[in-house]
A and B are shown apart, each in its own frame.
Chain A
């Protein structure tokens, strides 16, 4: 497989604390990878290390097949949306993004055109010449997102891209980022798992500076091994269900009234499970919807916190 990022055994310490504790993570080219983990898990540290902003204590990084980050090799090919970083307040978005484009070796004309297009794309076409100081928090965030896509870089690292945006702009940005699938490699770190589920095709779980899981979204949510039934009440007789589908496990979420059935995808298809299970289930309760695969939040909580 062709990888945009191959990071192996990364270690970054802050005093005695290990922010990255031998983290190994590879991101295939053109993937949209969601980075999930609790606060302090090492997501931001990993991104900053990839972009060359932090110095690692050990480990190797191979970016776009050209070794670790080097501005001479990677300028214009990799961009980053850092967390909690202000833009220069007296600058105007159009000047700032044109400047960034020039640093990425675009010509002045190309840089200005790209800057204008990107700012229009993030709905700031009417604020091109306002100072950053005069923009609201959400608008600044959109300028920050726009700067990532100047000059169509091959790899874009986005740390909490949708935090601070109003619902309409967040939805627009989700669409904007989803449209990038297959054209660029994106790594998106977010605590909002619904956003990750909507935008990403791969996910990586990070815990205590290590990668716990790195796979496709389909596999994590169990598109081929999980069925979720929304039922009117919790089934009283689980033994009847287990007898219908041997090896399947069942869990019930009282809040959502969802009954989750996890089965061995090598033995059964979803259609086969429905055919066998539904009569036994309908004998105990009504079923309003059937969904293939769990939602990401449940899958994450189940796999990481459940195991922890």
Chain B
């Protein structure tokens, strides 16, 4: 079922391999400061629950430089040891035990002991019963949590302490050297990292830079690592720069507000059938993203083709023909996230599509919205975890029917159908996340899940080419 995903991953890997130009002639070496730019401008180094996708990825990447999760998931969703080296659960998946890596220390020199880790996890999840033993922690949950490891791999479960100023203290490759809220974060290499010292001495992250500014800065060699628009990532990079495009890890969808004037499911279905996703993808998204009618992307589930994303105007008109006049004469207000550079055009195109079948949709940022164009994060390669997270971000009510009972595909499919019933949400596109690195960056192996690395800690293998080396190349 996941064959398509593996093929996609293979392509991404090839792209990544082509982007990594480390040769035998140029060996990795220590030193240098990696310059990074990001769109978001956080006031604090925390990951808020309602973060926008851009903020989510920026903060997740930043915090993952400072801290580690207990486990991590690879692109296939398989758990990999990080701070925990072994794990097991009882058959009911209510009780888990994770054996921790020995000798790990926080940046302040304190040991990342089972007790310290249990305290941090317990604070993050008051509903869990987290207990520490000699070299392990046990977690008891109610109800059963078959996806506990996927949950623990999420950036919100990074094992981080905080000093009195709220600065995170973790076990990661880098430690916080200077923090200017919303502007600049300086990280220094952690000499005592359990993964070993990173090649670069420091990382400087500038916040609040638009994608356009980041692209120009990269072009002018004023930064080393940036975010990029997905469509830009597919274009050829000049000046030795390389780019990376993740698997689709975001969902763009229309969500009907609870007090929307469009309460009739036929209106919602007609709108879903009226939307022609192809022109949006080809023109407005410049080919990036995949038209979608499901919440989860195909690489996660393998069944998304079951949900048709084809426009069907005749069927939409038939549905609307059954409606009474008031529903037809109503104008529905469609809002979008003004910080999303593509959202306005996509919303306007949807309004055009809707008017084509006779649904009056006005794109507006003022007044009470009936429909919202939302971009949400699918944070985990584990489909059940991503489905739950997507439903939470979309504000969908999660009932028993919309929660998978197990990690089986059938249960997942039924749960997703439950969430899509009634057309409270109309999935539009699954979107990737893109990054780009400058010419002097070496050893960059971006992962397919919008992380900065496909294995181990992010940026652990990166080293910076000197001017002399560049000259010999």
On whether the two chains bind one another, the answer is no
